[in-house]
Amino acid sequence: MLDIHQVLDDKDCWIPEIPALPEVSSNIYKNIVATLSTVQYQQKCISRFQRAIGVDTETNDDFGTVQDDIRWSKFYNFSAFLKKDFPLVHQHLQLERVNCHGLLYTWKPASERDQDTHFSKPFVLMAHQDTVPVSNKSLAEWKYDPFEGHVDKSGIIYGRGAHDDKNSLISIMEAVELLLKNHFQPKRTVVLAFGFDEEVSGKRGAFEISQVLEQRYGKHGIEFILDEGPGIIDPVAPGGKVAYATVATSEKGYLDVLIEAKGLGGHSSLAGKHTLIGIMAEMIVALETKDPLAPRVSRDSPVIEFLSCQNFSTRDVPLLLRRIRKGDIDAEYDLGLLLQNTSLAVLSRTSQAIDLISGGQKINALPERVSVGINYRIAPGLSLKDIKARITSILEPIAMKYNMTSFFFGSQESVSCSDSELCISQVGKALEPAKMSPQNTKAYSVVFGSVSSALNPIFTETLNVESLVVVPTLMAGNTDTRHFWNLTQNLFRFRPTRIDIRNNGGHTVNEHIYVDDHFASIQFYSSLILRASAM
């Protein structure tokens, strides 16, 4: 297994330049940091966070439209909580409701002359109100009531949404409230965009908000967008002296595929050599064994920069990185192979997950229909077309072997899915891997510099390390930023909190963050707003 050491001696590691704050903003920031350290503020702050966790904003895949499904009405309770607990935000920022529950706050400069409308584009801070549901079957596995926001003796707060994504949302609101208390006025427009259905694709919330922003500011009319993402990770090697703040500057692509097979039923005593389930099993095995999706670290992946900030026990990695930068595709696969048994493997491969299967109705009746659902997360270097071509090349010979009329992704004009014995189709909207945010921009320096300046002092002490290095990385999942590609090329995904090996219990039982990380998040968003306003 590849040994990773936390030593930063590679000259290719990019260190962000931290933009200086104007004197007035610097003084405001110092006041906010001092406020965050007071017991009185911390108690009130955590109480507000607990109340946010206590408001049920669970969503499920079977939710209908906002207009037709009454279950969405619970989000009125959350927006009422925000209005009550953050009065200055609601007094000074313009609030628009998008599709009933999307919350779009706009913080404009005090006067038009404070902002050059031609050169100073707005920036957007995003989070989502909704959470995944708590299963009744798993309630007994929770240490505490998932809607209580209980803080244990270790300073960890538990609750549904504590990590994903109410910490980010409430921290943004806390930061703006503190900035307003300190009489801060931005020099450019600040937009807060809070969707309400990220966990079920974001079509009703973030997508609708993106349409409003595009109509208002135009394509590429936003300076940068920051949404949820990865966060602070401990040193990989025991006793390591460097921790990492990982900011995702790209996301994997996304594709759902449905394989449906149908045939004549009948009594099981009349079965031939293969039933539909047997044939489908052969297809599944083929997809998992033939022409495997080789791990690869593409030149178009931010993982290149992430690896450049680490030192390895072998010089193979730095040499491969330099070959990749020169356009050597073989080196991309060699590096992927080298990383395949490390904790970084998930960032170097396209995943294929066969997640759903159904078929048959009775033990003594031949199955008439069998279906399989597959999810793909596509790493940079591959495309939707590549994945579909691979599926077709593997399954088409099997269909021919069993004389099945087949339909592959709408490519055959002579047959339709409904008329075929085997139908392979795309489910829902698919995504290509997101383009990397360009590194040589002011927005990049402001985001990365804000992470470094605000969080380095906090987490070097908390984690007992010598430094916190801010590095770009690849997001394995997808965020609401997928709906904002038209608005800016500067898309960043980051959580200013520690992320453990189980993702802080996100999407499962005992979701949690450290209380101190909530305060750190507020400090980070305050720093970012101040620096972005001055850029």
Task: Compute the distance between CA of residue 450 and CA of residue 534 in angstroms, rounded to an integer.
Answer: 12
For 518, residues 6+ apart whose C-beta sits below 8 A from its C-beta are 45, 46, 49, 157, 167, 170, 171, 497
Task: Compute the distance between CA of residue 262 and CA of residue 404 in angstroms, rounded to an integer.
Answer: 9
Residue 92, marked binder: no
> Which bin fits 220, alpha (ψ -120 to 50), beta or left (φ > 0)?
left
Task: Compute the distance between CA of residue 453 and CA of residue 457 in angstroms, rounded to an integer.
Answer: 7
Q: Which DSSP string do the residues of 290-304 spell out, in sequence order?
A: SS-------TTSTHH
Beta strands in 58-216 (DSSP E): 94-98, 102-107, 123-128, 156-158, 190-195
- The 10 Å Cβ neighbour count of residue 445 is 17
Residue 507, marked binder: yes
* CA-based torsion, 53, 252, 408, 270: positive or negative: negative
3-state helix, strand, coil split of the chain in percent (to 5) is: 40, 20, 40
Residue 163, marked binder: no
Residue 164, marked binder: yes
**Two tokens, residue 267:** 């009594």
Choice among 177, 197, 198, 334 that is catalytic: 198
Task: Compute the distance between CA of residue 490 and CA of residue 125 in angstroms, rounded to an integer.
Answer: 12
Task: Compute the distance between CA of residue 387 and CA of residue 408 in angstroms, rounded to an integer.
Answer: 12
Task: Compute the distance between CA of residue 148 and CA of residue 180 in angstroms, rounded to an integer.
Answer: 29
Task: Compute the distance between CA of residue 528 and CA of residue 435 in angstroms, rounded to an integer.
Answer: 23
Q: What is the 3-state secondary structure (H, E, C) of 445-479?
A: HHHHHHHHHHHHHHHHHHCCCCEEEEEEEEECCCC
- The 10 Å Cβ neighbour count of residue 231 is 27
- The 10 Å Cβ neighbour count of residue 374 is 21
Q: Is 198 a catalytic residue?
A: yes
Task: Compute the distance between CA of residue 19 and CA of residue 184 in angstroms, rounded to an integer.
Answer: 18
CB 515 within 8 A of CB 165: no
| Strand (E) or helix (H) holding 338 | helix 329-339
Task: Compute the distance between CA of residue 258 and CA of residue 245 in angstroms, rounded to an integer.
Answer: 37
The residue with tokens 């109410």 is 166
CB 94 within 8 A of CB 106: yes
CB 442 within 8 A of CB 492: no
Residue 128, marked binder: yes
Enzyme catalytic residues: 130, 198
The annotated binding site for Zn(2+) is made up of: 128, 164, 199, 227, 507
The annotated binding site is made up of: 128, 164, 199, 227, 507
